[in-house]
Every structure is written in C-alpha cells, then in structure tokens.
Amino acid sequence: MGVETLSRGEQLKELASDLSRAVETARRVGLPTTVYLLSMALVEVREAAAADDGDDDDAA
C-alpha cells in the first residue's frame, strides 16, 4: 500500500474538518464544555492553517 504524504497545510485543513465534525457531534449530544473546547481548538488550527498558507505565498 502506498502512503500519501500531505503537506502541513493539507494536514491542518484535514484536522480543521475533523474538529468541525466533532463540534457538531458534541453539540448534537449536548456536551457544551466539549463543544467549547473543540471550538477553541478549531480556531487555533484555522489560524495555523492561515499562517501556513501565508508562508507558502512568500515562498512562491
């Protein structure tokens, strides 16, 4: 089996997507503290992804 290597930006976007789904699941099952914590993690990951995209632009 081949192993696909994702760039850091792609990994961050995938993580943001996973966190977003987890937030929605936690919201559905009524876990407000978990929703809050996952939301804060999602903000951090999105900021990191945006910063990573900015670094890619500088390299071009």
Q: Give how many domains the chain has, as a whole number.
A: 1
- CA 4 to centroid of chain Cα atoms: 19
C-alpha separations of 30 from 11, 13, 35 in Å: 28, 26, 9
Q: What pLDDT was estimated at residue 60?
A: 44
Q: What pLDDT was estimated at residue 48?
A: 97
Q: What pLDDT was estimated at residue 55?
A: 66
2, part of any domain: no
- The model's confidence at residue 58, banded by pLDDT at 50, 70 and 90, is very low
pLDDT tens, position by position, 22-56: 999 999 999 999 999 999 999 999 999 999 887 65
CB–CB of 7/33 below 8 Å? no
Domain that holds residue 35: 8-59
Q: Backbone dihedral region of 28: left (phi > 0), alpha (psi from -120 to 50 degrees) or beta?
A: alpha
51, part of any domain: yes
- Answering whether pTM is above 0.85, one says no
3, part of any domain: no
36, part of any domain: yes
25, part of any domain: yes
